[in-house]
Amino acid sequence: MPNLPAPVRLLVVAVFAALLTTSCVGDPSGGSDGDAGSVGSTPDPTSTGAPEPPSNDPLPWGPTEAELAKAQETVRSMSPAELAGQVIVGRWHGTEPATAAAMVADLHLAGVQLTGDNIVDRAQVSATTAAVAEAFERSGRSFPPVIGVDQEGGAVAHLSGISAEFPPFATSGAIVAQDGRAGRRTVRAAMRAMAFELRELGFTWVFAPVADVTIGDADVTIGSRSPSSDPKVAARAVRAAVEGYGDAGLVSTTKHFPGHGAATADSHETLPEIEVSREQLESRELPPFRAAVQAGAPAVMIGHLGVSSLAPGVPTSLAPEAYDLLRDDLGFEGVAITDSLGMGAVLTPGRRPAVEALAAGADLLLMPANTPETHGVVTRALKSGELDRERVEEAAARVVAVQLWQQRTSRERNVPDDASARAAAAAQDLLDASY
């Protein structure tokens, strides 16, 4: 070593020793093939080893990473009874707001659906949604409940007589086919207006749009509820509708995956058997659902259908193959909700549709035939280990996350003071554009 002053020599020696030590550190197991700490690696001096916090960037289905992380943390602390409730949208009887509110509170439900039998007039609907929201908040949950309604337009409109009367969704499909991009704008604006009126009434979800491609007269259930018999037209109409509902901060539910339009039997009564190849499924039934996913659909409803190329004889709502198709093929990451579990297609001896659906991949169980009984069945299955808690936590977290999205977006997008008038005008715009 050159004749350097002592302090400098000591500094040089220390630096050399440090470099030598660093170059000799390799894989703790003795390997030296490029693992962290081996020769050539350059550790980040600012790294603490802590994971990156979840971002506020939106996921493809609406919520942000941070909202999903908050939801996951929330459901981890739930008891089996609370967790079971958080994956059920209840069926209730009567028209008293207190009845619906008590069911949500007692069973820790995600929320309720209002059907025609639960509806009297506009004031009673608003009182019911407010009572449910208040009961939900009193339970300690800091996100809104699922309060849903079938409001497709046409024959399926449970708020008929107390809200704007929209034409059937087939009208929207015809406008899209006729007017192209301008037609899509008309449909999107109409669904946005409908959504704001639903929010004014206290709803957070709508069970629409219908994405089924109808086969015409042999289609005994869907008919004019379908946007079109042309998959491309149906896809464009569905995309416009999903975007319109989302614009207004309402959770839409694209239905009935993987497609009810080719069924020649009614799943309310029995299990429709659909003979269709995977190629036919891909080319005809799935394009509208793909369009919905690409448009950011927050929820997709799984129909009760026996599809020969998926799981013959098994309702798609209870078949893992259907959920795999939705997740893996279409890339859907949001809430998969069953069609009503009170329908004939799944009410067969020996079946426990709630447990089977959750195990297959469902995130939310819609309107079981007996809500308290179903809550008990799911709770017991969680306690016994028959239902994997991690699977149900995954389901509940998706539901909570989409409700956090609904809470945030509804605060950002205020309901107009004249929401009802705007909805009526939008419904008329659809009728005018269809001529």
Active site residue 212: no
Encoded tokens for 395: 């389901």
Phi, psi of 104 (to 5 degrees): -60, -45
Count of beta carbons in the 10 Å neighbourhood of residue 227 = 34
Is 415 buried (19+), middle (13-18) or exposed (0-12) by CB count in 10 A?
Answer: middle
| Cα distance between residue 395 and residue 406, in whole Å | 17
Encoded tokens for 226: 């379908």
Q: At what angle do helices 231-247 and 169-200 cross, to 10 degrees?
A: 10
| Cα distance between residue 129 and residue 201, in whole Å | 7
Q: Which of 27, 35, 121, 268 does the annotation list as catalytic?
A: 268
Instruction: Tell me how far CA of residue 270 lies from CA of 266, 306, 350, 355, in angstroms.
Output: 6, 10, 15, 20
Active site residue 304: no
Contacts of 299 (CB under 8 A, 6+ apart): 205, 251, 252, 253, 254, 334, 335, 336, 337, 364, 402
| Cα distance between residue 230 and residue 215, in whole Å | 9
Q: Which of 150, 212, 219, 339 does the annotation list as catalytic?
A: 339
Contact 361, 336 (CB under 8 A): yes
Long-range CB pairs of 409-413 (<8 Å, 24+ gap) are 409/62, 409/246, 409/249, 410/144, 410/199, 410/204, 410/249, 410/250, 412/249, 413/247, 413/248, 413/249
Which amino acid, 244?
Answer: G
Encoded tokens for 15: 């630096």
End-to-end CA distance of the chain: 96
For the chain, the farthest-separated pair of C-alpha atoms sits apart, in whole angstroms, at: 101
Catalytic center residues: 268, 339
